[in-house]
Amino acid sequence: MYEITLTIDGREVAVPPGATILDAARKAGSYVPALCHHPDLKPIGSCKLCIVAVEGLDHHPTSCNTPAEEGMVVETRTGELQEMRRHTLEILLALTNHPISCLFCDRKDECTDLRECMRKFPVTVGCKYCPQDGRCELQQAVEFVGLEKVRYQLSFRNMPVLREPFFDRNYNLCIMCSRCVRVCAEVRGEGVLKSNPDFHRMHWIGPPSLMDSDCKFCGACVDVCPTGALSVRSEKWIRPERTVSTVCPYCGVGCRMTLGVEDERIVSIAPDREGPVNRGQLCVKGRFGLDEIVHHPDRITTPLIRRNGRFEEATWEEALDLVARRFSEIKDEYGPDTLGALSSSRCTNEENYLVQKLARAVFGTNNVDNCARVCHAPSVTGLASCFGSGAATNSFDQIEDADLLFIIGSNTTEAHPIVGLKVIAAAKKGVEIIVADPRKIELVDRAKVWLNLRPGTNIALLNGMMNVILREGLEDREFIASRTEGFEEFRKVVDGYTPERAAEITGVPAGDIIEAARLYAGADKAMIIYSLGMTEHVTGTANVMSLGNLAMLTGNVGRRSTGVMPLRGQNNVQGACDMGALPNNYVGYQPVTDPKARSKFEEAWRVRLPADPGLTSTEMMERLAEGRGVRGLYILGEDVAQTEPDTNRVRSSLEALEFLVVQEIFPTETTKYADVILPAASFAECDGTFTNGERRIQRVNRAIPPLCGLANWETISRIAEKMGYPMKYSHPSEIMEEISSLAPLFGGVSFDRLDLRGLQWPCPSIDHPGTETMHLGCFSRGLGKFNGAKHRPPAEEPDPDYPLILTTGRRREHYNCGSMTRRSKGIMWIWPEETIEMSPADAKDLGVEDGETVLVSSRRGEVRVKARVTEKSSRGVAFMSFHYQDVLTNLLTNAALDPQAKTPEYKACAIRVEKIPT
Ligand SMILES: Nc1nc2c(c(=O)[nH]1)N[C@H]1C(S)=C(S)[C@@H](COP(=O)(O)OP(=O)(O)OC[C@H]3O[C@@H](n4cnc5c(=O)[nH]c(N)nc54)[C@H](O)[C@@H]3O)O[C@H]1N2
Ligand SMILES: Nc1nc2c(c(=O)[nH]1)N[C@H]1C(S)=C(S)[C@@H](COP(=O)(O)OP(=O)(O)OC[C@H]3O[C@@H](n4cnc5c(=O)[nH]c(N)nc54)[C@H](O)[C@@H]3O)O[C@H]1N2
Ligand SMILES: [Mo]
């Protein structure tokens, strides 16, 4: 693969075409100082420290932006180069008035305590690294070139240190390398930070606090800063003893991160440049919203048993005995199907596998589910019915190579920020973007067409587009003929949706529907990216099938940079489904109703298994509210009392339970209803695997021992054992062995194969490289199937009593029930409270001012919340998140379900907003 060979400091090295001399030098192990250069940024060659001597050249080129050429002979550290670098650096320090005590301290060798040193040399205040530590790139450069003093006059700039959420900006230490400015624009697509064009009077230009800018607090600027000018407050003076590579536990993108550990505490977090998806980037939650959380004083670390209405601390033995005894009693008295388990898509594959095994083999029921039910279950059912597999068809790194991206019902930059970066990069390259969303999400600014549809009218919109495609003959006939079935019936359905009719239903002008149809069908490689705006409707499954129809109609599936990409929600929701934490499937989507599959599992687990599919989580809640169904429930890491719809009803359901066990890292709305609270180990305390939204199974590595003393897989095994079913594992890798032996989809997966890139399933055998793109040449189900769908309105539509539509969703900084992000001081600084977003027109009609507290009610409940008047909301459509315990948005939402996937309609219900009389 390497094509260029050159010599660096006498060593021969081979690099790929396009590599620079600096890349080659680094590969050859020659350190070359380069203060403006960073491997993730375009080289600008401005600091001039990376100059090298090239045989045959009459000048010294900057190596960061000079391409390596075949046969080049390069020297990186001749006396002349070093002398030139000394001059350059001396002038740089003088011009930027950089404090020098940390660079030239004459007692460096004695230095043990940076704080002590800081007291002596106040001028260094804020430098993030100990002088001896060598992580300050400026200091490293000074040492390397042997600069010992600065001959020019320096005056300390004495600028105030600016305090932001999470980090400080100390421009006294800035050397004007512009890395922060460039990463913000080039990599993050933001352009919030700006350089001051007047080098000599350098100070920050822009608002005094980034809080008053469009900053997303991703931390990328901090991560590229070569000095201490930008530094994370909690990471100053930190020198981790060791680092551990693992996967972020928030969303389903699967970003790799490095945890720094000191005294069994997580003291630092950094994005991993080797991460196959995130490549050195994180979002605000992963970068800053974790270390404080793992060690938060509210962590539940001791089992708690409710006695006389109060929680009392108990030993593990006591608590687990009680759990096993009560579950056994309920099973014996009322039958196995009166027990149920909700597994956690925040937890590892191995833990999820054990929870469904506990339910099936020990409780004896298929009543097991995970939060995919209230999320992407329609993707699983809808895509499986079109293609034969319910997972994302392609990989995230193919996004940039598409010709067109159709983003529908996904607030990508807020809910999946690192996938959002790929969309932004694509847009910058000229890839065309269509956004279909009732809110003016950030990506609308990058879109060619914005289809601003009424919530719950997706099918009409998509049928309208497909109607245009067929009418104009833009379909891919060859693909339809050779790879699909059901086209004719489908066509009949779509024929009824002229763009004019679609416009009437959706509120989107017919011209925009036509334009979107032509753009999508006209692209060679068009990729669909979607999320809950499609699934969380009573038409969720039909919505998803309509996307499958659109992709097949135009031959946009089964090739790179095409396909249908559900952006999965939780860090391991893909895995929780894969592992069979579903009422109808064993691990690897093997149906419980298939006698062959059942007998395979009966043999492996040495137990009789129930034959009928179990209840979904939403059905469990529904029946409980009616006083029937399950009596004993085990919930691992899910906060149903805050996150399921119609909270008043959920509360009655939880109260109706005879026995509720919740295993959690924090007290939540749901733990309030528990009979026993078992502590859980957080991601940093777990060994195992997570599977991201592109089917990539990645290793999660334990950084510190479980604060509660037991790993989650141990807790689950012990409950099983105490109920009379032995589960003997000595490490999660053995659980993965069992998984791969029982599920052909993961037949080739084992811990020792999982390097930093992980493995994308299907991976049927140990020599199989994993699957980046699915359905190449043939669909998982053989032929792809068209499933025509008709428009159906949301279960509840606005009327004179409840005239507004409420749609609910996420904010970038917070995460789902907020149990973690609400415990981060920096995140609460950015988003301290819930607000209801409404359009200026609606606010005017109601006489509501921005910031005013209003009463919001639906047929099910009411909340008081501050109004935020914003152009982001369209007339008639209000928006709330569900991240705050003190404003429970789900008191308002509707529990109406999609009939196939049983997913609730969180994305549309009718509300009334009223002024509160003063
Ligand atoms: N910051 C953050 N990130 C998260 C999460 C979080 O809580 N916070 N949660 C994670 C989880 S579990 C999930 S599932 C994902 C969810 O990720 P997303 O689905 O992207 O997030 P949402 O905010 O729920 O809403 C999606 C979009 O659908 C739009 N929408 C509403 N109704 C309709 C409709 O009828 N049609 C169309 N086309 N669009 C509609 C909304 O305006 C919104 O922009 O995010 C994951 N990532
Ligand atoms: N109104 C409205 N409601 C919604 C949605 C919406 O769009 N609108 N979206 C829905 C969607 S898509 C989803 S996925 C659900 C999410 O709803 P939930 O799954 O209830 O929400 P989470 O906050 O992700 O976390 C679940 C719990 O897991 C705990 N936890 C975190 N890490 C661990 C761990 O390592 N071990 C254990 N045992 N516990 C852990 C957290 O403390 C938290 O209490 O919300 C749904 N609710
Ligand atoms: Mo989700």
CA distance 579 to 357: 10
First to last CA, the chain: 73
**pTM score > 0.75 for this model?**
yes
CA 418 to centroid of ligand 3, rounded, Å = 16
Residues belonging to the chain: 918
Phi-psi region of 332 (alpha: psi -120 to 50; beta: other; left: phi over 0): alpha
* pLDDT value of residue 201: 44
CA 574 / ligand 3 centre spacing (Å): 10
The CA distance from 16 to 70, in Å, is 11
Q: Which atom of ligand 1 is nearest to the CA of 455?
A: 35
Is the distance from the beta carbon of residue 546 to the nearest atom of ligand 1 less than 6 Å? no
Confidence at residue 158, expressed as pLDDT on a 0 to 100 scale: 73
Establish whether residue 693 lines the binding site of ligand 1, counting it when its CB lies within 6 angstroms of any ligand atom: no
| Closest ligand 1 atom number to CA of residue 570 | 12
Q: Whose CA is nearest to atom 29 of ligand 2?
A: 637
Q: What's the pLDDT at 126?
A: 37
Out of 344, 807, 881, give the residue to mutate to test ligand 2, the one with the largest number of ligand atoms within 8 Å of its CB: 344
**Which of 298, 816, 885, 911 maximizes ligand 2 atoms within 8 Å of its Cβ, making it the mutation to test the pocket?**
816
Which of 643, 689, 856 best tests ligand 2's pocket when mutated (most atoms within 8 Å of CB)? 643
Q: Which domains does the chain have, with CATH numbers?
A: 306-375+572-584+612-726 (3.40.50.740), 389-566 (3.40.228.10), 804-915 (2.40.40.20)
Q: Cβ distance 388 to 612 under 8 Å?
A: no
Q: Which atom of ligand 2 is nearest to the CA of 889?
A: 1
> Ligand 1, atom 36: nearest CA belongs to which residue?
533
- Best of 250, 251, 577 for a ligand 1 pocket test (most atoms within 8 Å of beta carbon): 251
Closest ligand 1 atom number to CA of residue 537: 35
Residue with tokens 């579950």: 327
Q: What is the pLDDT of residue 657?
A: 96
Atom of ligand 1 at shortest range from CA of 813: 1
**Closest Cα to atom 19 of ligand 2:** 638
Residue 408 Cβ contacting ligand 1 at under 6 Å: yes
Adjacent-strand bridge partners of 866:
835, 853
Q: What is the pLDDT of residue 160?
A: 80
Ligand 3 centre and the CA of 817: distance in Å? 11
Question: Could you write out the DSSP letters of every residue in 320-377?
Answer: HHHHHHHHHHHHHHH-GGGEEEE--TTS-HHHHHHHHHIIIIII----EE-GGGGTTH
Ligand nearest to the Cα of 670, by number: 2
Burial (CB count within 10 angstroms: exposed 0-12, middle 13-18, buried 19+), residue 257? buried
- Ligand 3 centre distance from Cα of residue 884 (Å): 16
Question: Residue 346: CB within 6 Å of ligand 1?
Answer: no
Which parts of the chain sit beneath pLDDT 70? 1-2, 100-135, 197-206
Following DSSP, what letter does each residue of 627-682 receive, concatenated? T-S-SEEEEES--HHHHSSSHHHHHHHHHH-SEEEEEESS--TTGGG-SEEEE---
Centroid of ligand 2 to alpha carbon of 638 (angstroms) = 5
8-state DSSP, 439: S
Task: Write the pLDDT tens digit of every residue in 544-587.
Answer: 999 999 999 999 999 999 999 999 999 999 999 999 999 999 99
Three-state secondary structure along 772-819? Answer: CCCCCCCECCECEECCCCCCCCCCCCCCCCCCEEEEEECCCCCCCCCC
Ligand 1 binding pocket includes 663 (Cβ within 6 Å)? no
The candidate with the shortest Cα–Cα distance to 493, out of 568, 408, 560, 550, is 550
Task: Give the pLDDT confidence score for residue 817 in this predicted structure.
Answer: 97
Provide the pairing of β-strand 256-262 with 265-271: antiparallel
Tokens 């990069």 map to which residue? 425
483 lines ligand 1 (CB under 6 A): no
Which atom of ligand 2 approaches the CA of 890 most closely?
1
Q: Which ligand 2 atom sits nearest the alpha carbon of residue 639?
A: 20
Contacts of 628 (CB under 8 A, 6+ apart): none
Q: Is 347 in the pocket of ligand 1 (CB under 6 A)?
A: no
How far, in Å, from the CA of 831 to the mean position of ligand 3?
A: 20
As for ligand 2, residues whose beta carbon falls within 6 Å of it are: 249, 344, 346-347, 371, 374-375, 532, 536, 569-570, 636-639, 643, 663-666, 668, 680, 682-683, 808-809, 815-817, 819-820, 882, 889-890, 893, 906
Distance 812 CA to ligand 2 centre (A): 15
Asked if 867 contacts 910 with a C-beta cutoff of 8 angstroms, the reply is no
- Pairwise CA distance, residues 518 & 501, whole Å: 18
**Locus of tokens 């079935």:** 485
Whether 455 is in the pocket of ligand 1, judged by its Cβ within 6 Å, is: yes
How far is it, in rounded angstroms, from Cα 570 to Cα 574? 8
Residues whose Cβ atom is located within 5 A of ion ligand 3:
375, 569
* Strands 676-679 vs 659-664: parallel, antiparallel or unpaired: parallel
CA of 845 to the centre of ligand 1 (A): 28
pLDDT digits (tens, 9 = 90+) for 743-758: 999 999 999 999 889 9
DSSP single-letter state for residue 187: I
CA distance 693 to 570: 9
What's the CA gap between 100 and 94, in Å, rounded? 10
Between CA 464 and CA 514 the distance in angstroms is: 8
* Ligand 3 centroid to residue 569 C-alpha, Å: 4
